């Protein structure tokens, strides 16, 4: 993949992370009930997305940032299943959109994996 894909991915994660602070209630609403302290988890995940997105811009940090993104996306999978099973968490999105978000996560993991080099 070209460099512009890398920068696009970094920007997407940075913007997504910033949105955790702009619209925290929206993100808190999609945290499964069985996880403690939704507010803290939203802040933590926002910081992680920003830092991992920034890490993609630096060659020395790129592999670890990409691995971190993959781990983060795996950790986020329960959120997508929770949104499928909880009407309030679904935020009015059609069921087909919620279903398509799950394979999208794996596509995003593959995209991040394309920048892993050990």
Q: What is the pLDDT averaged over residues 40-63?
A: 97
Q: Which pLDDT score, from 0 to 100, does residue 76 have?
A: 95
Q: What is the pLDDT averaged over residues 63-87?
A: 96
Q: Does residue 3 carry a pLDDT above 90?
A: no
Are the C-beta atoms of 51 and 37 separated by less than 8 Å?
no
Rg (CA), the chain: 14
Q: Does residue 1 carry a pLDDT above 80?
A: no
Q: What is the pLDDT averaged over residues 60-65?
A: 96
Q: Which pLDDT score, from 0 to 100, does residue 53 have?
A: 98
Whether the full predicted model's pTM is greater than 0.75, yes or no, is yes
């Amino acid at each position: 993949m070209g460099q512009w894909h890398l920068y696009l991915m970094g920007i997407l994660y940075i913007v997504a992370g910033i949105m955790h602070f702009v619209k925290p209630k929206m993100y808190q609403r999609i945290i499964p009930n069985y996880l403690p302290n939704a507010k803290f988890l939203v802040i933590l995940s926002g910081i992680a997305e920003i830092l991992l997105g920034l890490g993609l811009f630096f060659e020395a940090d790129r592999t670890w940032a990409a691995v971190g993104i993959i781990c983060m996306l795996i950790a986020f999978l329960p959120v997508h299943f929770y949104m499928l099973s909880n009407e309030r968490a679904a935020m009015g999105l059609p069921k087909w959109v919620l279903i398509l978000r799950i394979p999208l996560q794996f596509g995003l993991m593959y995209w991040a994996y394309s920048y892993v080099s050990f």
